[in-house]
Amino acid sequence: MASTKSDTKVETQAVPAAEPVPVVEAKPAQPAAPMLQSSAGEALQKYSLCAHCQSRLHFAYLTDFSRNLTEETARCPECHKQSHRVMHRLQ
């Protein structure tokens, strides 16, 4: 008597599938284009021109660190008139 032993042991080993790496799509940063308004440009031009002779003003800044103030003075090189004097407060 021959007994055929078919000992087939099938091991079903569940191979863990590699987890899919979640792909995070990086959105390209929107370039924030600074919109310069024409009115602002005109104001700036007025600001930097002498009110008397329309020549370009010379700006001078004097910073007082003890008081955290910057004094801005605009002077006309042509008629030597001081156009304005603005105090800027530093942070």
> Where along the sequence are the contacts to Zn ion (CB under 5 A)?
50, 52-53, 76, 78-79
Rounded to whole angstroms, how far apart are CA atoms 79 and 73? 15
Shortest approach of Zn ion to residue 73 CB, angstroms?
Answer: 14
Residues in the chain: 91
Shortest approach of Zn ion to residue 43 CB, angstroms?
Answer: 18
* Residue (52 or 84) nearer to Zn ion, CB: 52
Shortest approach of Zn ion to residue 48 CB, angstroms?
Answer: 12
* Residue (70 or 73) nearer to Zn ion, CB: 73
* Residue (44 or 53) nearer to Zn ion, CB: 53
Which string of b and e fits 6-31 if b means at least 16 CB within 10 Å? eeeeeeeeeeeeeeeeeeeeeeeeee
* Helix H or strand E segment including 32: none
The amino acid sitting at 22 is: P
